[in-house]
Each structure stands twice: as structure tokens, then as C-alpha cells.
Amino acid sequence: MATSTGTTEQVLNSLKQKYASVLRTIEQQGVRLTHVHVQDNKLFIQGEAPSEEAKNKVWDQVKLVDPQFSDLTLDISVRAGATASQSSTGAASASGGQTYTVQPGDTLSKISKQFYGDANRYTQIFEANRDKLSDPNKIQVGQTLTIPNR
């Protein structure tokens, strides 16, 4: 009979192995990790990047490993005082939540279903990104959205 601790450790080790290149990129980019653990059978990584560019390089690596990142929750904010392409980017990251880069075929409902398990919560994502979005039906591939923790 396996203990839940043993199972959690096995899942953690398996996911760390899968995302080893992401963890290397995090280290190379100088991202300061605050949490790495298994939560709901997903690898949960939380940290603070020294710049928006460093954060984007980590996300690029994640997409190479698993474009759906179905077994990963990545919450990387940009360090306060870091230079960002837009001042609102740093503010959005600092307000909590995680970021997501829009992929081809995405809708706010689809993103909401992925993060919350409920497509109808898309309005929370829209409201958190009012500085970038004027219409919930008009999101652009490559856009970085803040996904609030709620």
C-alpha cells in the first residue's frame, strides 16, 4: 500500500524530470523560486524574475516542453523595480495570479476553463486585463494576460 507522501514524491520527481529544461532556464535567467511542489497532481512553480524578458524565456521553454502545460502551474512575477515594456505589466504581475501567453485558437472562455475548470469565469480574466483588452472576444496570439488567483 503506497502512502500519499510516497505518491506525491513520485509525482514531484516525475514532473521535475519532465520540466528539467524549464528548471534549468529558471536558474539561468536568475529567477528566484519561492515554491516548487505538487498541487492537484500538477507541478506548481512560483517565483520572481529579474525582468519581463527572463520571465518570457521561461515561458518559451515551458511551451517547448508541453504547449498545453496540462500538468504545470507556473506563477512568475517580475521583480518590483525591474524594467518592463509597459508600466502596467509590472503592476499586473504584482497584484497576484499568474500570466499566460495567448496561443492560436484560444478564447478567454478556453483559458478560463484551463485555469479555473469553468469557462464562464472568463470575465475575471477580462477584468484583470482591462488595461490590455477592450473586448473579451478580441484577444491576440502572443498577448500576455494576467490570470488572477480567485
For residue range 111-147, what is the model confidence (pLDDT) as tens digits?
888 888 888 989 999 988 888 888 888 898 888 888 8
- Domain count along the chain: 2
Give exposure, 27-50, as e/b (b: 16+ Cβ within 10 Å): eebebeeeebebeeebbbbbbbbb
pLDDT at residue 5, rounded to an integer: 55
- Domain containing residue 145: 95-150
Grid cell 523560486 — which residue?
33
pLDDT at residue 102, rounded to an integer: 87
Q: Tell me, yes or no, if the pTM score tops 0.85.
A: no
Any idea what the CATH number is for the domain that residue 105 is in? 3.10.350.10
Last residue of a domain, one of 81, 105, 130: 81
Last residue of a domain, one of 24, 57, 81: 81
> Which grid coordinates belong to 109?
472562455
Last residue of a domain, one of 30, 52, 81: 81
pLDDT at residue 85, rounded to an integer: 37
Distance between start and end Cα atoms, the chain: 36
Long-range contact set of residues 53-58: C-beta below 8 Å, sequence gap at least 24: 54/29, 54/30, 55/29, 55/31, 55/99, 56/101, 56/144, 57/25, 57/29, 58/22, 58/25, 58/26, 58/29, 58/31
For residue range 48-101, what is the model confidence (pLDDT) as tens digits?
998 888 999 999 998 899 888 789 888 888 876 644 333 333 333 444 578 888
Q: Find the mean pLDDT for residues 32-59.
A: 87
For residue range 3-18, what is the model confidence (pLDDT) as tens digits?
455 677 888 889 989 9
pLDDT at residue 116, rounded to an integer: 81
Residues 101, 148, single domain; the answer is yes
